[in-house]
Amino acid sequence: MHIAVCVKQVPDTANVRIDPETNTLMREGVESIINPYDEYALEQALRLRDSCGARVTALTMGPPQAAVILREAMARGADGAVLLSDRAFAGADTWATSYVIAQAIKKLKPKVDLVLFGKQAIDGDTAQVGPGVSEFLKYPLLTYARDLQVAADGRYTAETLMDDGVEVIEGELPAVITVVKESAAPRFAPLAGWMATRGGEIPSWGVKQLKAVPDLCGLQGSPTRVVKIFAPPVKSGGTRMDGRVQPAAAVEAIVTLLSRKGVVS
């Protein structure tokens, strides 16, 4: 079995702010991290590898410095990694990103049986690239999965977290599966792993290596355009009540608000 895990380098969003005057991103002091959801996808892949044997390849699309998260994936135990990097990929929305990643997965040898993604990336929060790749690959899609098990015949089971409960799903590889955080905690990369990944080259594929169509990559290939970014509106002041004198009135106010929000009838 060959498992491809797609990971993304993202800014630590807790620190990303927008300058309210110029409406530009303030990147000062913002660090890049591996998308937290992707760590769970990688863990699922490594667990499958540990339990039933597989080759795990980590993939990312990004600038050359994004290779650092691939090294981290290899330090944790991935067998190989590929960086998808090309100026032509810049400005890609989820459509064009899905296209490039799918092209890369098609190119991997041996043929990829299972593609894992984190549920979503914390910078864009779209959760669209996993499904998009499944479409380009024509692999069936399963989203919000945890506890993935694969049998020798290529049948798999997983639990998916839906809006009103958990569903136990059965399917057959190949598949594209997105993984939630409510699954096995990601392992730490051991020092031995880091020291072993050193020196090894990580291949970098661009438009040419992928035989991708430049018009479908990057901004050029993206149907959507960001036309404006701005700071979120500041929440206006709420209502204050003194519940020390008349607790009953306070309770009534809460119930009224809850019912307005449709929480109580």
Q: Total residues at the site for another protein (CB under 8 A)?
A: 111
Tokens of 94: 């989820």
When asked if residue 250 is in the footprint of another protein (CB under 8 A), the reply is: yes
| Residue number with CB closer to another protein (152 or 229) | 229
Name the 3-class secondary structure at 103.
helix
Q: Which range in 51-59, 80-88, 110-118, 169-177 contacts another protein by CB under 8 A?
A: 169-177
Distances (CA, A) of 140 to 84, 178, 215, 220: 23, 12, 26, 27
CB of 69 to another protein, least distance (A): 12
Least distance in Å: CB of 145 to another protein? 10
Site for another protein in 221-240 (CB under 8 A): 221-232, 235, 238-240
Q: Which of residues 80-99 bind another protein (CB under 8 A)?
A: 93-95, 98-99
- Using the rule CB under 8 A, is 182 a contact of another protein? yes
Q: Contact, 49 vs 77, CB < 8 A?
A: yes
Member of 116, 134, 148, 210 binding another protein (CB under 8 A): 134
Does 144 interact with another protein (rule: CB under 8 A)? yes
CB of 47: closest distance to another protein in angstroms? 10
By CB atoms closer than 10 A (0-12, 13-18, 19+), residue 264 is exposed
Q: Point out which span in 53-61, 80-88, 108-116, 249-257 binds another protein (CB under 8 A).
A: 249-257
Looking at residue 82, the DSSP 8-state letter turns out to be E
Least Å distance between CB 109 and another protein?
A: 16
Task: Check residue 209 for interaction with another protein (CB under 8 A).
Answer: no
**Residue 175 has which token pair?**
């598949």
CB under 8 Å to 154, separation ≥6 — which residues?
Answer: 1, 113, 172, 173
| Using rule CB under 8 A, residue 117 touches another protein | no
- Cβ-in-10-Å burial (0-12, 13-18, 19+) of 138 comes to exposed
136 sits near another protein (criterion: CB under 8 A): yes
Residue 28 in the binding site for another protein (CB under 8 A): yes
Q: Is 153 in the site for another protein (CB under 8 A)?
A: no
Burial of 120 (0-12, 13-18, 19+ CB in 10 A): buried
Task: Report residue 154: phi and psi, to 5°.
Answer: 90, 5
* Identity of the amino acid at 199: G
Binding test (CB under 8 A) with another protein, winner from 138, 152, 153, 201: 138
